[in-house]
Structure 1
Amino acid sequence: MRTELAKLVLPLELPGVEQARATASSALGQLDDYILPRWRSLDAPLLAVVGGSTGAGKSTLVNALMGHPVTRSGAIRPTTRQPILLHHPDDAPWFTSSRVLPTLHRVQGGRVKDNTPASRAGVAPDAGAMTSLVLVADPAVPAGVAILDAPDVDSISDDNRQLAGQLLAAADLWLFVTTANRYADAVPWKLLLDAASRDITVAVILDRVPAGAEQEIAADLQEMLIREGLSGAELFIVPESNLDEMGMLPSDAVAPITSWLDQIGSDAAGRAEIVRRTLNGTVRSLSDRLNSLGLAVQAQQDASRQLEADVHAAFADASTRISKATSDGSLLRGEVLARWQDFVGTGEFFRALENGIGRVRDRIGAFFKGQPPPAVKVEVAIETGLQAVIVDQGARACEDADQRWRADPAGRQLLAMDDLSGVSPDFATEVAAEIRTWQGEVMALIRAEGAAKRSQARWLSFGVNGLGVILMIVVFSFTGGLTGAEVGIAGGTAVVGQKLLEAIFGEDAVRRLAKEAKESLDMRCDGLLERQQQRFLSRLGSAEGASDPLVKHLDELAAQLSDLGARDGQRGRRSRSDEGKRA
């Protein structure tokens, strides 16, 4: 699963994609920060993260649990900018490595000097505070438990909030601090509901409770916890108290919490149960997130396919229009028609046709025995006319594709400020080069066909290029799409060219040559359009990788994770039951 999440990309701006990206990022972070490290070392000390809202008194509470200042507290918000992890000296090897929270750089901290007030305790945050973790070994921490003072979950700083979420996701145990006047706030409850979904062990610490209101507020909060699926959460009340000159709470205000942590530290079986329950719940929660990511990948795939289909449709229309224009006689107009008529002498060949097809061969012979006008002028006219058609249709396809994408939010995001509504600057040059290559191929077809007909060698020696030009004209009128007066002009001259070629090569050969030449032209035109098309499709990038197998694989992984968490959870419950019976 980690491999899939690490390479997962959701590039298209679709509704809900930001949430999906955040889900993928948090899932990957939780795998690295908690699930994989914890799975590899089930016997490592518990990580208890102290989290909560701004000004809830988290740092003050941590200092009180230790019995002396260890982390900075005060009125400035946010107070905790750099997380501090307190552990028993014997547990140091578990945390000095990158076993947990591997993305945070380790900073070795020391005991605060005696008589240092809480307002100056701890390590002063620096520019790298958000990327580092201060480690402090303190005998006051119960062996088997580490306490991490985290930033505010609702901090005004985005970095603080993100780091707080990362630390809570890496916890085995939460000490969630709230106050008597803020225990119903939305942000804390969002995190508490996440804890419920992970089946994590939570201790809710209700701080600064006014004297006489403890029972009423505690009852209301307990009811809320039960209603939201956190009936097993421990609830501790810290009465509103004056701080001493060191900024410390009275020790008896937190005595129940200290006793609870000491009990957890001394109970190896209890710690193992907390670890297994939290780990199984986190794995099941991860399965749910993977299901949602599968849906997000499917949405990316569908959107990518639609954008791709829009581009293909625009350029397929252009390909169809080019193919039609190069076979229905449309090109046999203007300059091409004028140069063609100069070349063949339309009147003479019409008379030959009128006098009967039997005399065409004689006329052809006379034509080639003389000095026919150079075919190069017709070739140039064909190149110019054909280039205009292809460039025009390519530009229309680009404009169409650009408009289709701009009508789609994902397409607009891919295009950004770039204008792809026209062809690339070198397109006209590419088209001209491709046309010349095709014309050379047509000449090669004529040459190869003439070589097989030795009796016609004297004609071919006079006009390979001329016969090639005639074949091009035949190709351009292949479907005979002209109407009205055009039939008598362009269409008529094309018929003359076809009859001339048939007289030399035979009807079947001419049909085959025209077919090969037309297919080659269509292929080259499609290749030209394909390069323009790729200007759009290349922007889809990794969205094209959102394939059906990937979606299926994510679903399969989600199912396996869910089954793993459920089976391990059942095994843990049976183990607890057996222990109860033995007891």
Structure 2
Amino acid sequence: MTEPTAVPPREAVVEDGLLQGLSGLAAAVVATPLVLEVPGVDRDRALQREVSEQLGDYVVPRLENIGAPLLVVVGGSTGAGKSTLVNSIVGRRVTATGVLRPTTRTPVLVHHPADTEWFRSGRILPEVARTGSNSRRANTIRQVACSTLWPGIAVLDAPDFDSIDETNREMAEQLLGAADLWLFVTSAARYADQVPWDYLRRAADRDASIAVVLDRTSDEALVEVRRHLARMLSEHGLSDVALFSVPESTPDSEGVLPPSDVEQVVTWLHVLADDEAQRRAIVLKTLQGAILHDIESSRQLEGALTRQVDAAAQLRQDVESVYLGAHSDLMTAATDGTMLRGEVLARWQDFVGSGEIFRKLERTVGSWRDRLFKRKPTSPEEVEEAALSGLHLMILDRAERAAEEVARAWDGSEAGRALLDRQRGLDRASRDVRVRAERIAREWRESVFDLVAEQGADKKTKARALSLGVNAAGVTLMVVVFAGTAGLTGAELGIAGGTAAAGQAVLNAVFGDQAVRALAEQAGQDLSRRLEDLLESEADRFLDLLPDPVALETSQWQLEAAIAAVDKPRGRRSR
């Protein structure tokens, strides 16, 4: 085992524009929207948090201040003796020790008084609050100035890697990401545990500066355990780390071990404090490894964001295709004769009279009115109500089916299921859709009547329109739209036959062929717009749960540009 080695000079890490580029990368990573529950998103979010914290807590502030005091973070498993080691390095109790776990509830940062301003300024770990006492608040560090420590170096007692408290584990990971040097503490009983080796493997991936302390080991086991631990470190690519041993002994009332037990560790740290060049080498090694790691991790986040974009696009397509289809279905049913069935057809036939009239049609307006409306067992208002009721029910039924279809499509993906669970009731149309569908039918009726009244105000058609009546003409125009026979003339009209064709013939006689075609087209377009508005609002219940596609595209571009700004050839690590 050897001490951490030096790295290329400062210029290999710090160059023009790099600080600005990494600041931009940090902002882009934080803003990356990983909001959909796609497969693997928990891993993606953990990576995002790791990269954003390391860039913001360590890389950017450290680049701004290469010569600032060295931060040594002491980490390890539960019961490894981290707090006792910190007290022993300092020479007095600064952090709590004991048998209750976790002992380290609030991380403790110990530094020389001369370095107080650097650590109090928040340049390192800017989002973590400083306090002078123990605190159970999240994101809090207890900061202690101690003259028995040396200027130029600080020691931070971190929570356990394997703490039963999730907040402690997260804090430990964040603190290790902000370390210039990891002082990893383990014991004869815990050195082979999987959790700490996961952290060490990740440290190796980052080329972080590491030293290992084998603590609480009996004299009988020391040689064998140290040899095995050294072999394990080598197998994990950590053969060049400094390895120290602290024998098993009892601390005094201050929680401090005998000076001779920690002499190796204390002497090494003291030398680092006095040797600015060596501190700088450690900082640059860790910093360069962190930068390369964060760039590579950001590229992984690009893939994560692409998965978000693809999932959002598919979910959006599910919604849009269903509701576009619903609109098409409704307009087809409203204009292909489907509406002229059942009650509507019966009322219309009663209104216009018996079938005998259709065999004796005459061309004059008077004959049309006298013959078609001579018998009125049913008023136009009754036909109108039957038509409105049919239209209302048809809209309501299609809106319900559309909601079911989208919910079924979304249920086929993990992201869709999560959104459906978050917003219950999406598999049914909105609660007010019944009222809105009825309003659409009645407002469309009023619009049709207004069209007829406006057309009938022309001097040439006023008398004929008045003789027919606005209600009768309006109902007839609704039937023409429902039948889809607008524009049929001559032989085509004769071929179409039936009551709807007769209705168009009546309107042709009153307003003229061209005007009737225009009226029917306007009425149909108006109904289409109203249905589109309703269905769009129904679709929005789903779409509002999805990330904005423009924002996703912008985030993709920003992350890609931020990576490109810093991912220039700078001696990348070989794998």
TM-score class, shorter-chain normalisation, is: 0.7 to 0.9
Partner of 1:104: 128
Alignment partner of 1:302 out of 295, 302, 310: 310
- Does residue 188 (structure 1) correspond to residue 168 (structure 2)? The answer is no
- Does residue 384 (structure 1) correspond to residue 384 (structure 2)? The answer is no
The 1:210/1:365 distance shift into structure 2, 3 A limit, reads closer
Partner of 2:99: 75
Q: Could you tell me how far 1:410 is from its partner in structure 2?
A: 2.0
Name the CA distance, whole Å, in 2 between partners of 1:194 and 1:369.
Answer: 89
Say which SS state the counterpart of residue 155 (structure 1) adopts: coil
Partner of 1:12: 36
Say which SS state the counterpart of residue 425 (structure 1) adopts: coil
- Does residue 470 (structure 1) correspond to residue 476 (structure 2)? The answer is yes
**For 1:116-265, what aligned pairs fall within 5 Å after superposition?**
125-128=134-137, 130-244=138-252, 246-265=254-273
TM-score between both structures, scaled by the size of structure 2: 0.87
Equivalent pair of 1:352/1:363 in contact (CA under 8 Å):
no
Name the CA distance, whole Å, in 2 between partners of 1:107 and 1:247.
Answer: 22
Partner of 2:559: 554
1:243-279 C-alpha deviation (Å, 9 max, x unpaired): 4565432212222221211121112222222222222
Letter in 1 for 2:404: E
Equivalent pair of 1:329/1:490 in contact (CA under 8 Å):
no
Equivalent pair of 2:108/2:141 in contact (CA under 8 Å):
yes
Letter in 2 for 1:97: S
Name the CA distance, whole Å, in 1 between partners of 2:61 and 2:89.
Answer: 27
Question: What stretches of structure 1 of length at least 5 have no aligned partner?
Answer: 109-122, 481-486, 571-583
Alignment partner of 1:364 out of 368, 372, 384: 368
Letter in 1 for 2:394: V
1:299-327 C-alpha deviation (Å, 9 max, x unpaired): 12222222222222332332222122111
Q: Could you tell me how far 1:374 is from its partner in structure 2?
A: 4.8
Partner of 1:315: 323
Alignment partner of 1:518 out of 516, 524, 531: 524
Partner of 1:492: 498
Equivalent pair of 1:329/1:491 in contact (CA under 8 Å):
no
The 1:407/1:479 distance shift into structure 2, 3 A limit, reads farther
Say which SS state the counterpart of residue 143 (structure 2) adopts: strand
Q: Could you tell me how far 1:386 is from its partner in structure 2?
A: 0.9
Name the CA distance, whole Å, in 1 between partners of 2:163 and 2:427.
Answer: 46
Name the CA distance, whole Å, in 1 between partners of 2:255 and 2:389.
Answer: 89
Alignment partner of 1:29 out of 43, 48, 53: 53
Say which SS state the counterpart of residue 547 (structure 1) adopts: helix
Partner of 1:409: 414
Partner of 2:402: 397
Q: Could you tell me how far 1:285 is from its partner in structure 2?
A: 1.2
Name the CA distance, whole Å, in 1 between partners of 2:313 and 2:550.
Answer: 11
Letter in 2 for 1:239: P
Partner of 2:533: 527
Name the CA distance, whole Å, in 2 between partners of 1:37 and 1:286.
Answer: 15
Name the CA distance, whole Å, in 2 between partners of 1:268 and 1:426.
Answer: 72
Name the CA distance, whole Å, in 1 between partners of 2:50 and 2:220.
Answer: 42
- Does residue 328 (structure 1) correspond to residue 328 (structure 2)? The answer is no
Name the CA distance, whole Å, in 2 between partners of 1:58 and 1:93.
Answer: 25
Equivalent pair of 2:29/2:48 in contact (CA under 8 Å):
yes
Q: Could you tell me how far 1:421 is from its partner in structure 2?
A: 2.6
Letter in 1 for 2:228: D
Equivalent pair of 1:50/1:148 in contact (CA under 8 Å):
yes
The 1:285/1:536 distance shift into structure 2, 3 A limit, reads same
Say which SS state the counterpart of residue 171 (structure 1) adopts: coil
Question: What stretches of structure 2 of length at least 5 have no aligned partner?
Answer: 1-24, 487-492
Equivalent pair of 1:346/1:493 in contact (CA under 8 Å):
no
Q: Could you tell me how far 1:284 is from its partner in structure 2?
A: 1.4
Say which SS state the counterpart of residue 461 (structure 2) adopts: helix
1:56-88 C-alpha deviation (Å, 9 max, x unpaired): 111121122123333222222222222111111
Name the CA distance, whole Å, in 2 between partners of 1:76 and 1:398.
Answer: 55
Alignment partner of 1:423 out of 414, 425, 429: 429
Deviates more, 1:364-373 or 1:426-435: 364-373
The 1:246/1:308 distance shift into structure 2, 3 A limit, reads closer
Partner of 1:111: none
Q: Could you tell me how far 1:493 is from its partner in structure 2?
A: 0.8
Partner of 1:575: none
The 1:344/1:245 distance shift into structure 2, 3 A limit, reads closer
Name the CA distance, whole Å, in 1 between partners of 2:279 and 2:192.
Answer: 30
**For 1:501-516, what aligned pairs fall within 5 Å after superposition?**
501-516=507-522
Letter in 2 for 1:363: S
Equivalent pair of 2:352/2:373 in contact (CA under 8 Å):
no
**For 1:48-87, what aligned pairs fall within 5 Å after superposition?**
48-87=72-111
Letter in 1 for 2:367: R
Letter in 2 for 1:64: S
Q: Could you tell me how far 1:126 is from its partner in structure 2?
A: 4.4
Name the CA distance, whole Å, in 2 between partners of 1:64 and 1:363.
Answer: 114
Q: Could you tell me how far 1:235 is from its partner in structure 2?
A: 1.2
The 1:140/1:479 distance shift into structure 2, 3 A limit, reads farther
Deviates more, 1:296-305 or 1:214-223: 214-223
The 1:488/1:535 distance shift into structure 2, 3 A limit, reads farther
Equivalent pair of 1:360/1:500 in contact (CA under 8 Å):
no
Q: Could you tell me how far 1:163 is from its partner in structure 2?
A: 1.5
Cα RMSD, aligned residues only: 2.9
Letter in 2 for 1:464: V
Name the CA distance, whole Å, in 2 between partners of 1:67 and 1:152.
Answer: 22
TM-score between both structures, scaled by the size of structure 1: 0.85
Q: Could you tell me how far 1:192 is from its partner in structure 2?
A: 1.1
Q: Could you tell me how far 1:46 is from its partner in structure 2?
A: 0.9
Say which SS state the counterpart of residue 182 (structure 2) adopts: strand
Name the CA distance, whole Å, in 2 between partners of 1:479 and 1:11.
Answer: 50
Equivalent pair of 1:332/1:490 in contact (CA under 8 Å):
no
Say which SS state the counterpart of residue 364 (structure 1) adopts: helix
Name the CA distance, whole Å, in 2 between partners of 1:229 and 1:425.
Answer: 62
Q: Could you tell me how far 1:172 is from its partner in structure 2?
A: 0.8
Number of matched pairs = 541
Name the CA distance, whole Å, in 1 between partners of 2:255 and 2:330.
Answer: 84
Name the CA distance, whole Å, in 1 between partners of 2:346 and 2:339.
Answer: 11
Q: Could you tell me how far 1:184 is from its partner in structure 2?
A: 2.3
Letter in 2 for 1:58: K
In percent, how many aligned pairs have the same letter? 42
The 1:517/1:346 distance shift into structure 2, 3 A limit, reads farther
Deviates more, 1:185-194 or 1:240-249: 240-249
